[in-house]
A and B are shown apart, each in its own frame.
Chain A
């Protein structure tokens, strides 16, 4: 039993974490709106939104047992309430507090999600203190009684209830000398009468009117702490002919005593409900009334087409309110899996169909097969699409970052974001976040000059950082650009020569020089940071992007600014691959890492004692890597002249892989090897080939590392023993020498 309760608590927490994450994202966005300095009226709206988010967060954190976090949220809620009540002006200071507290809430939720422990109270003290230090105006216009808004049936205001009292008194009441007004005064003694509506439908025509009869009935809304019994007691001495109905309608009213539903109701419905008119009247009048659009057309204010279009747009935007559900991403992965199987099975089916003798049947089946293939590929697209999320989720965090850096460094930076609706695979979004943060921070930190410097250069004092995302040719591009000082080509070049990254006499084109900042040795050096204005860890940024099978380029101009262009694949689940053969094995490489393929000539081959085999490509020597050796594949072609060379670029160096033959380019659905086994050196994953068999996807970086490790081992061993044929590998090296 205890276990069940635990399970329940765990599930509750899981739901909470997911929800909290969404709420925090919305929270951030709202606070950004405030910062952009919209007018006061709009701010109140936004504060309302923020208030609602904080309120639901407070409730849910409390319910999963993170009391301290919940307590802080309560403080924040009260603070927001003061803003709502217009007792606190939204100054920069207040916005800062809101920013800080939303950050704290975010950190807090992240902390509790990861550690499953409540936060420490002291972390909040600072912010709570500054909240309390904000001076509060006295404001008498507002009803300050209620504290918890939106919680009518909830905790803080629970003593009050809203009662609907429908009072239909006996028609001869007046004859007994009772004045109905008495009931009203008695009711107002036990509570506040929020609303009274009188129904006068029963009043007859004048000739039938009896002056001492009561024709009126009333509906009273009473806000009171008293119970139903207390209210009934007022009507205790009423005659049986009178009818009194009392209902608890608290849920219909908010704390200001305004009927919630009223806001959404149409005027006609409210009037009908209050008995002022009947539905037929409305219909009659409504038929007389002309539509706004028609009126406008009639008055020749706008063209008819414009109105029609506006109405269509309106309808479309109403439709856009979609419902969503949460789905575990592994379920989607399974779907992708199954669809992949479907594709393979149908291609096998197609092969089988060719064996059918009956021509008509064969043709019919072929057609159906193609149809189903089309449906399958549609299905695949849809499932892939469902894993996509807009990049906005990570872009929006930069408003805050830029704001913080601007304040801290006394710079004047404006962040412009475009294309935030561009969708990316969820996994990529998660992994690109850190590199992107790094780039944006670098731009603001190092790229952008101080306002005074900018002025002296004749630039706008306000610097601009532009984040841009867009689709192009089946890839996603993210650009981070600034209008800062740009990179200093000579400084980079000098530094690179100094550190020995390039030789002194090497001549590089501009692009290659800027590429140098991605080298590990260069970017970690402190001096280059000062000179070039680019920070530490660009090599890590590049590495992370490469791991996502993307790449990064730089465009920079001195004193004009720098742009980093990141190219990313749409999804991680499918890659463009190059299939090739080594022995009987079918292997694949990500197409992005393939540089060129060629058949070497005898003259191009060369062997250097102790350093291995080389092939000269455009005058440069590339190490030959015998894949069949590294992967111990039998029956492969060993003579480079008969085999093919596949050049790959790893860390800006070219290596030639020795392979048997190229099969072709193909889209590969990635399958994890680790799911049921473990990581294998040199293999980044697997894919399922058209035949249903498994193909291995080679990781070029790892292959190079393996090659280097083996080479080291070999040279050491041959030095020790001074023999060449210590294993079958060396036989081939000997053969390689003969070939020259």
Chain B
């Protein structure tokens, strides 16, 4: 309340207030949807998250990589769903009522990711994200999929780079001949 009542005494004050405002709106872009896989907490930039839906039966897709668990119908759109545990080389688990599918956009396609549970939406200031993650012992996941590690308070969030998790080839390669006139 006292902040609101504070009078701007000179132009410098106003400028500073404006700069703060600007700063907060730019840091607002660094919001992350966080979730758990195994014991770790991960984050995905909120801009690439399309929506979050509960786990449901998937249609098995033959002749696909093992980590593609199947496809689902999301309001008339067919979406492939991937289990990051398999892709990251972790142990598979039975999906339960906490399991959630996060629909993300990568290379202009929508893909679902099954995670153990959804946690939070966090704002992490870019200065609190370290580029070169220091991988702890518990973390088995491959460094190549990571954007960095964000520090929120005293906990760490592993930030995934969606465009590194999926390669462009994986989503667009044409396996068989394409015959046309």
A residues within 8 Å of B by Cβ? Answer: 337-338, 340-341, 434-435, 540-541, 543-544, 547, 585, 630-633, 671-673, 675-683, 686, 688, 692-696, 702, 705
Contacts and interface: CB of A to CB of B under 8 A. Distances in A.
Interface in B43-79: 57, 59-64, 68, 71-73, 75-79
B164 to A, nearest CB: 18
Nearest to B57: A693
A693 B62 contact: no
Given A677-B78, A680-B175, A544 B180 contact: yes
Contact of A694 (B73, B170, B176): B73
Contact of A341 (B62, B75, B175): B75
A187 to B, nearest CB: 68
A675 B105 CA distance: 12
B63 A680 contact: yes
Contacts of B84: none
A189 B72 CA distance: 83
B78 A678 contact: no
Contact of A681 (B71, B79, B176): B176
Given A540-B181, A686-B71, A694-B71, A677 B109 contact: yes
B179 interface: yes
Contact of A671 (B60, B62, B76, B179): B76
Interface of B: 57, 59-64, 68, 71-73, 75-80, 109-111, 170-176, 178-181
A171 to B, nearest CB: 74
A434 B180 CA distance: 11
B80 A677 contact: yes
A437 to B, nearest CB: 10
Which of B61, B72, B172 has the most chain A CB atoms inside 10 A of its CB? B61
Contacts of B179: 543
Contacts of A671: 73, 76-78
B181 A434 contact: yes
Nearest to A685: B78
Given A585-B60, A673-B71, A676-B110, 16 more contacts: A338-B75, A341-B76, A543-B179, A544-B180, A632-B62, A633-B60, A677-B171, A678-B174, A679-B176, A680-B61, A680-B62, A686-B71, A693-B57, A694-B59, A696-B61, A696-B62
A337 B76 contact: yes
Nearest to B63: A681
Given A540-B181, A547-B180, A686-B71, A676 B77 contact: yes
Contact of B111 (A585, A676, A683, A702): A676
Nearest to B175: A681
Given A686-B71, A694-B72, A680 B64 contact: yes
A659 to B, nearest CB: 14
Contacts of B172: 678
In the A-B complex, the 7 residue pairs with the closest CB atoms: A631-B62, A337-B76, A694-B59, A544-B181, A677-B80, A341-B76, A676-B109
A543 B179 CA distance: 9
Which of B78, B79, B110 has the most chain A CB atoms inside 10 A of its CB? B78
Nearest to B72: A694
Nearest to A547: B180
Contacts of B75: 337-338, 341
Contacts of B175: 678-681
Nearest to B179: A543
B63 A682 contact: yes
What does DSSP make chain A's interface, helix, strand, loop or mixed? mixed
B109 A675 contact: yes
Contacts of A694: 59, 71-73, 78
Contacts of A692: 73
Contacts of B76: 337-338, 340-341, 671, 688
Nearest to A336: B76
Nearest to B61: A680
Contacts of A540: 181
B156 to A, nearest CB: 32
Contacts of A541: 181
Contact of B80 (A434, A676, A693): A676
Given A547-B180, A694-B72, A675 B78 contact: yes
Contacts of A696: 59, 61-62
A678 B173 contact: yes
11 contacts: A434-B181, A585-B59, A631-B62, A631-B63, A632-B63, A673-B78, A675-B109, A676-B78, A677-B78, A688-B76, A693-B59
Contacts of B178: 679
B122 to A, nearest CB: 27
Contacts of A676: 77-80, 109-111
A677 B176 CA distance: 15
Contact of B171 (A341, A543, A633, A678): A678
Nearest to A683: B62
A337 B62 contact: no
Given A681-B175, A686-B71, A694-B71, A675 B62 contact: no
Contact of B73 (A543, A688, A702): A688
A650 to B, nearest CB: 13
Contacts of A693: 57, 59, 73
A214 B77 CA distance: 83
Contacts of B64: 680
B176 A686 contact: no
A681 B178 CA distance: 11
A688 to B, nearest CB: 5
Contacts of A705: 176
Contacts of A681: 62-63, 175-176
Contacts of A585: 59-60
Nearest to A628: B62
Nearest to A341: B76
Nearest to B172: A678
A701 to B, nearest CB: 9
Nearest to B80: A677
Contacts of B63: 631-632, 680-682
A337 B77 contact: yes
B32 to A, nearest CB: 23
Contacts of B110: 676
A1 to B, nearest CB: 23
Contacts of A435: 181
A673 B78 CA distance: 6
Contacts of B61: 677, 680, 683, 696
